[in-house]
Structure 1
Amino acid sequence: MTKIDHFVSERQSAILAQLRQNGRVLAQELAHDFGVSEDTIRRDLREMAARGECQRVYGGALLTPGTTVPFKTRLAEMPDRKATLGQTAASLVENGMTVFLDAGSTNLAIARHLLPHKLTVVTNTPAIAAELTGHEGIELIMIGGRIDPAVGASFDTTAIRQLEQIRPDLCIIGVCGLAMERGLCADIYEDSVFKQLACNTSARTMAAITTEKLGAGAPFHVRTLSSTLTLVLEGDADDGIVETLKDSGAIVHRAPPPSPTRKT
């Protein structure tokens, strides 16, 4: 990758973060924010639309309705921050639990920090299953049928039938947003139905959420805020939002700031 490609990738990642937070972006505002021409931004949006990350509209772009940011793309976003969230979330999991670990790049980071535990882990996500396979202390159960390429997991009728037979102690759910008035939500209807079942069949639910998703709505409801929900947030989460979440009864933990990357 050339230096120019690197800068383009960083800019497009930042645009994607704005899309996920606000649901839309304006080319004129982006050009001003990044100090580039509107033609450059329009080229960015064309490339992002070709990857399925947005829907181009006059003057800007929208997050594609009924879709989610592709799993492969999300894996490359904010790895240090997700690793910190993953470590904090994993520290709250107790040995001996049966845990359902849902799809998501942050949940993959959680899986990497579960390896010292003694657990039964159920997942519908091949990347998470691959991370946990062969580790002493982890009894792994893989469920599902067809793998959705964008989500990186299965949530079809086969997966639903299998999940109905399991009663986890904890569901670690992956979500696309947390709306204050509606709770946890997702971009894809079928995925939201599967997530609802995962929450409903589990004694407790946990979600580790990056700051961009706080207050960011997604079309389909997954779970309301309640005392059986644990939220793991980043250290820079807005204090007002945190207090609102606590007032709902949810248990809130904050992760420490990510460790700075060492230069070699």
Structure 2
Amino acid sequence: MSATSLADEFDVSEDAIRRDLRALAAEGKCRRVYGGAVPLLASARPMALRVSEGSVRKSQLAQAAAKTIKPGELVFLDSGSTNLAMVDCLAPELGLTVATNSLDIAAALARREDIELILIGGAFNRHVGGSVDASAIAAVSLLNIDRCFIGACAVSGATGINVHDHADAIFKRAVLQNSATCSVLATSEKFQERAPYRIATPSQIETLFVESDLPANEAEKLTQAGFNLVRAAPASTTN
């Protein structure tokens, strides 16, 4: 919507409309663009607004993914609300070192005395919920990551793993290049969305963790594209 058309519709000044659009953008309800604003897709909203949504579904994915981690590994948890759910699923006896660029994930890991924490720093990106700038990329390039869990905004068999933020995409590709294996935890709505920046093809992802009720036709398309799917346990059987 343009500020001019909104001002005409509500019979107020364009300055008033621009002020309201700035307030709505600050609340994560739209994105300001030149001359107006555009709506946000669910996965394009700031991470702080996504953390509490679908917590049960994200926990189920996190539990399935945590079972693949081996003792003594250096694990990278990319910024994302589903990856945040993994912190509570990491077994204390594994003796893990976990690196992350996410402030929320780092804060949760800091309370775990059984896990060594590496915080990847740099300028904080509020939309992403972590650091994805050149400093963060340089820090990641010095790590030999055994297993990374990359965040995704959109997933498809045709385009692979995709995100909305350009800097975030560059950072994620750097993490992928410095990791022995890479997995993605994807809630079902991400298979219906599109994002402009590609991170990885299906062949670059070791495991795509999906929800238990992902439709069979969608799962078949993803498998045919080359994804290795692992379904999370349904809520009734998740401990």
Kindly indicate whether residue 208 of structure 2 is the aligned counterpart of residue 231 of structure 1.
yes
Deviation at 1:238, TM superposition (A): 1.7
* 1:210-252 deviation line (CA, Å, top 9, x unaligned): 0000142111111110164211100111212212222233221
Deviation at 1:68, TM superposition (A): 2.7
Is contact 1:115-1:138 (8 Å) kept? no
Number of residue pairs aligned between Structure 1 and Structure 2: 212
Question: Mean Cα displacement is larger for which, 78-87 or 189-198?
Answer: 78-87
| Percentage of matched positions with identical amino acids | 38
* 1:63-88 deviation line (CA, Å, top 9, x unaligned): 27xx9311111012111111111111
Give the aligned partner of residue 171 of structure 1.
Answer: 148
For residue 178 of structure 2, the aligned residue among 166, 176, 201 is: 201
Evaluate the alpha carbon distance shift between residue 253 and residue 50 of structure 1 in structure 2; reply closer, same or farther with a 3 A threshold: same
Secondary structure (helix, strand or coil) at the match of 2:124 reads coil
For residue 184 of structure 1, the aligned residue among 161, 166, 178 is: 161
How far, CA to CA, are the matches of 1:83 and 1:100 in structure 2? Answer: 18
Which runs of no fewer than 5 residues in structure 2 stay unpaired? 1-20
Evaluate the alpha carbon distance shift between residue 214 and residue 76 of structure 1 in structure 2; reply closer, same or farther with a 3 A threshold: same
Is contact 1:227-1:248 (8 Å) kept? no
How far, CA to CA, are the matches of 1:49 and 1:137 in structure 2? Answer: 39
How far, CA to CA, are the matches of 2:114 and 2:31 in structure 1? Answer: 44
How far, CA to CA, are the matches of 2:95 and 2:236 in structure 1? Answer: 27
Give the TM-score taking structure 1 as reference length: 0.73
How far, CA to CA, are the matches of 2:218 and 2:207 in structure 1? Answer: 15
Question: Mean Cα displacement is larger for which, 183-192 or 137-146?
Answer: 137-146
How far, CA to CA, are the matches of 1:84 and 1:259 in structure 2? Answer: 10
For residue 160 of structure 1, the aligned residue among 106, 117, 137 is: 137
* 1:81-121 deviation line (CA, Å, top 9, x unaligned): 11111111111211221111100000000122114232111
Give the aligned partner of residue 233 of structure 2.
Answer: 256
How big is the alpha-carbon RMSD for the aligned residues of Structure 1 and Structure 2? 2.5
Give the TM-score taking structure 2 as reference length: 0.80
Give the aligned partner of residue 14 of structure 2.
Answer: none
Deviation at 1:168, TM superposition (A): 0.6
Give the aligned partner of residue 25 of structure 1.
Answer: none
Give the aligned partner of residue 217 of structure 2.
Answer: 240
Evaluate the alpha carbon distance shift between residue 56 and residue 258 of structure 1 in structure 2; reply closer, same or farther with a 3 A threshold: farther
Secondary structure (helix, strand or coil) at the match of 1:99 reads strand
